[in-house]
Amino acid sequence: MTISIWRFSHFILALISFFFIVLASVTGMILALEPISNQLQPYGINSKTPVATTIKHLADCYDEILTIETDENDFVVASVITNEGENDTFYINPKTGEKLGDLIEKAPVFSFATNLHRSLFLKSTGRFIVGLVSFFLILMAISGMILIAKRQGGIRRYFSKVINENFEQYYHVVLGRWLLIPILIVALTGVYLSLEKFSLLPETNISHEYPEVLTSEIDKIPTSDFQVFQALKIADVKSLEFPFSEDIEDYFFIKLKDKELLVNQYSGAIVSEQEYPLTQLLSQWSLFLHTGQGTIVWSIVLFLVCLVLLFFIYSGFAMTLKRRKNIDISKNRFTKDSSEIIILVGSESGNTFSFANLFYEALIAQGKTVFITEMNKYSTFKQAKQMLVFTSTYGEGDAPINANKFESLVEHSTQNHTIDYAVLGFGSLLYPEYCKYAEDVDHLLKSHQGFKQSLELFKINNQSFEAFQTWANQWSIVNGLPLQIKQPVVNLNSKNTRQFKVVNRTDLNVDQTFMLQLKPTKKVKFESGDLLAFRLNVNEAARQYSVAKIGDDILLSIKKHEKGLCSSYLSTLNVNDIISATVEYNQEFHFAKSSKAVVMIANGTGIAPFLGMIDNNLAQKEIHLFLGLRTKASLELYSSVIDETFNKNKLKDCHVAFSQENTEKVYVQDIILQQADFIANHLKNKGLIMICGSIVMQNQVLEQLHDITNMKLQLPLSDFEANQQIKTDCY
């Protein structure tokens, strides 16, 4: 619930101010170029020269010096009366007093952008709007930080791995994490400068005391010998005004970064020294931080801040539109009271709806009467035989926004008959409370006498379509209803589509599994763990196979499915046949070069990428393989590669569990439990665990790992997930 309040505020603020933020960002980007282009001019002589030296050289060349200043670009500017009696102002070399060039005139584009940025050409009204929008930006930055902390599962995990739900969401969070601090600085300084313009800050004027001094009491010293001018470096001086006349009561007036001085023009004595109040120092800092004047690096940061603000506006609205589109439930063709299957959806940001809609369409295609609605719209369902609850988990194991009333609704409305139910949980292993709300719902319905569980709770990590398909298959079998779930057609990257020549294909083994070795006919970059996507024609969804890289070849382990068009076709290929397929990079499942020790867990054909990674382990890192197969005969397909890597010390040990060999079924999660101490130590020592194979195996292994870390290390598995120590690629 709370996350929605923050998200709502964040969105409303963005909605109110987006036009002005776009304007301020575009003009801000232009203005950030001004200090950069100025800094590239040849007038910046970073000077530690004493002021006395500059004065001496200028006095030698000119009739009179009026002022010496260090401008916002840190260039030294002198204003003088020349020997010809003319007034001139120019950049100088403070070491020699030599003129370097005339003052840079502000380019019209910068003047235009400045006006638009500061006041929208609307004078005070414009300045007020700009100040207000800066204030909104502060609120947006703060609400953004809170949203990120909440989404990451707490402030401690602020910088842990971000779930990549889609491009806009991922970069909104990733960029937000790093750039919210500079954005906050820009917004705060913007507000400060606006308050200053409207004189809303405390008075900052300094008043000097002018002591009465008689000329006769004074020893006259040459100006360049003044101690104060010898001690001061030119870089410390913002401006130095020379006395207007020879009157003893006219002084040198010096503005430094933190104070002002009055210096007697005859003796060089400091007659008054006044430090700037805090408001004025803050004002100087605000100006510097808001404009980047004088530094290329900060100007570049400001430029990036403006660019990122534009991206935030785009990605924020794109996310909102996507969420709204997802939430658009399939139009119900039947009423709640005439439907035999009810689908209830709990979703915060809309992703679960897309899965529920796919399931709805598949049921309708089978001629079922189905009604789909949000969990908060739970009521009585007169004809319902089945109730399917698809729900995500939010906050810290809480209900998503449209399911927060579900529990009380279930308790307060009674169905007139018992209904079978199944719960499908959507969540992420990055959170300590993985699919917690789905567990709560399952528990609630299990203990309710009006419902009967027809299928165990099934959890889906990171919206895995393959996991969803697995659950749908289970549901189909239990209900004797073959469902065709439409897999969203993924566009394959044609840049990585190549022709591959078959180098070797083994016969089918006892598990209907075979190995296929392919050689790309043209160079293509890939690594073990990447995917090879293959389809028989463009209108079909592609099948993906996890790749082992052996030399320059691709090695695949494929199980032939009875009705699988792709696997059946591939199982008939002969040596030298050519197929066309696409390499898809799967960065998330590459062998982490930084890991010293890796535990690889696979079942069935999931071993393929590991064969390549182990074969490529030239550095002889510590690799432990845990493998789940049906029988000893299943192992024969891989034993030659495994034996060879053993002999070359590329594999430390290999544990195999056979599920069909003896009367007692042993699965890979069982042999992991036998090695619980080793696994706990491995994780504690920053070791990596990689899992590849079936979703069902993945879920069971993860549960086992969760128990191990809880028991042996008193930490949730999600801590290691967030630390990127667990990598999975299951189907």
Q: Mark the segment that binds ligand FMN (CB under 6 A) among 112-120, 332-340, 434-442, 570-578.
A: 434-442
Residue type, 429: L
328/396 with CB nearer ligand FMN = 396
Instruction: Report if residue 349 touches ligand FMN, rule: CB under 6 A.
Output: yes
326/557 with CB nearer ligand FMN = 326
What is the spatial distance between Cα 371 and Cα 340, in angstroms, rounded to a whole number? 8
Residue type, 330: S
Task: Determine which residue in the list 293, 347, 470, 698 makes contact with ligand FMN, applying CB under 6 A.
Answer: 347
Residue type, 344: L
Q: How many residues belong to the site for ligand FMN (CB under 6 A)?
A: 26
135/378 with CB nearer ligand FMN = 378
What is the spatial distance between Cα 316 and Cα 323, in angstroms, rounded to a whole number? 11
Task: Determine which residue in the list 38, 352, 595, 605 makes contact with ligand FMN, applying CB under 6 A.
Answer: 352
Minimum CB separation of residue 479 from ligand FMN in Å reads: 24
Tell me which residue has tokens 């969203």: 488
Task: Determine which residue in the list 34, 196, 374, 433 makes contact with ligand FMN, applying CB under 6 A.
Answer: 433
The runs of H, that is alpha helices, within 96-234 are 108-119, 123-151, 167-197, 227-231
599 burial level (CB within 10 Å; 0-12, 13-18, 19+) = buried
Count CB atoms within 10 A of the CB of residue 249: 14
Task: Mark residue 150 as left, alpha or beta (left: phi above 0; alpha: psi -120 to 50; beta: remaining).
Answer: alpha
Minimum CB separation of residue 3 from ligand FMN in Å reads: 5
> How would you list the strands of the sheet with 237-241, edge to edge?
99-102, 87-92, 76-81, 64-70, 237-241, 251-256, 259-264, 270-275
What is the spatial distance between Cα 244 and Cα 66, in angstroms, rounded to a whole number? 8
Q: Mark the segment that binds ligand FMN (CB under 6 A) among 65-73, 301-309, 427-435, 602-610.
A: 427-435
Q: Mark the segment that binds ligand FMN (CB under 6 A) among 119-127, 377-385, 421-429, 501-509.
A: 421-429
3/554 with CB nearer ligand FMN = 3
Q: Mark the segment that binds ligand FMN (CB under 6 A) among 32-40, 262-270, 345-353, 448-456.
A: 345-353
Minimum CB separation of residue 185 from ligand FMN in Å reads: 26
436/498 with CB nearer ligand FMN = 436
Task: Determine which residue in the list 75, 303, 434, 658 makes contact with ligand FMN, applying CB under 6 A.
Answer: 434
> Residues 456 to 515: which contact ligand FMN by CB under 6 A?
463
Instruction: Report if residue 704 touches ligand FMN, rule: CB under 6 A.
Output: no
Residue type, 211: P
Minimum CB separation of residue 404 from ligand FMN in Å reads: 13
Task: Determine which residue in the list 436, 621, 682, 727 makes contact with ligand FMN, applying CB under 6 A.
Answer: 436
Task: Determine which residue in the list 426, 514, 591, 626 makes contact with ligand FMN, applying CB under 6 A.
Answer: 426
CA distances (Å), 80 to each of 68, 73, 91, 248, 249, in order?
9, 20, 11, 21, 22
What is the spatial distance between Cα 329 and Cα 374, in angstroms, rounded to a whole number? 9
53/392 with CB nearer ligand FMN = 392
Minimum CB separation of residue 426 from ligand FMN in Å reads: 4
Minimum CB separation of residue 168 from ligand FMN in Å reads: 13
Minimum CB separation of residue 726 from ligand FMN in Å reads: 14
Minimum CB separation of residue 317 from ligand FMN in Å reads: 17
- Which residues have CB under 8 Å from 549's CB, separation 6+? 526, 527, 528, 555, 612, 615, 616
Q: Mark the segment that binds ligand FMN (CB under 6 A) among 65-73, 297-305, 420-428, 618-626.
A: 420-428
308/435 with CB nearer ligand FMN = 435
117/436 with CB nearer ligand FMN = 436
459/682 with CB nearer ligand FMN = 459
Check if the beta carbon of residue 47 is closer than 8 Å to that of residue 78.
no
Tell me the residue nearest to ligand FMN as measured from the CB: 427
For 251-259, which contacts have Cβ atoms below 8 Å and span 24 or more sequence positions?
Answer: 251/210, 254/228, 256/232, 257/284
For residue 658, list its beta bridge partners.
629
Instruction: Report if residue 136 touches ligand FMN, rule: CB under 6 A.
Output: no
Task: Determine which residue in the list 435, 555, 608, 697 makes contact with ligand FMN, applying CB under 6 A.
Answer: 435
Minimum CB separation of residue 165 from ligand FMN in Å reads: 6
Tell me which residue has tokens 């000119």: 62
Minimum CB separation of residue 344 from ligand FMN in Å reads: 13
Token pair for 684: 């504690």
317/334 with CB nearer ligand FMN = 317
Tell me phi and psi for residue 573, to 5 degrees. -70, 150
Element (H, E) at 698: helix 695-708
Residue type, 268: G
Q: Mark the segment that binds ligand FMN (CB under 6 A) among 246-254, 285-293, 341-349, 654-662.
A: 341-349
Minimum CB separation of residue 451 from ligand FMN in Å reads: 23
Rounded to the nearest angstrom, the gap between the alpha carbon of residue 708 and the centroid of all alpha carbons in its chain is 30
> Residues 379 to 408: which contact ligand FMN by CB under 6 A?
392-397, 400
Print the SS3 string covering 256-320.
Answer: ECCEEEEEECCCCCEEEEEECCHHHHHHHHHHHHHHCCCCHHHHHHHHHHHHHHHHHHHHHHHHH
Element (H, E) at 419: strand 419-427
Check if the beta carbon of residue 371 is closer than 8 Å to that of residue 335.
yes
> Residues 625 to 644: which contact ligand FMN by CB under 6 A?
none
Q: Mark the segment that binds ligand FMN (CB under 6 A) among 73-81, 89-97, 423-431, 616-624.
A: 423-431
What is the spatial distance between Cα 47 and Cα 78, in angstroms, rounded to a whole number? 14
> Residues 138 to 197: which contact ligand FMN by CB under 6 A?
150-151, 163
Q: Mark the segment that binds ligand FMN (CB under 6 A) among 47-55, 333-341, 433-441, 475-483.
A: 433-441
Minimum CB separation of residue 522 from ligand FMN in Å reads: 38
Tell me phi and psi for residue 155, to 5 degrees. -65, -30
Token pair for 680: 């706990």
CA distances (Å), 278 to each of 198, 203, 404, 648, in order?
18, 11, 49, 70
- Contacts with ligand FMN by CB under 6 A lie at 3, 150-151, 163, 347-352, 392-397, 400, 426-428, 431, 433-436, 463
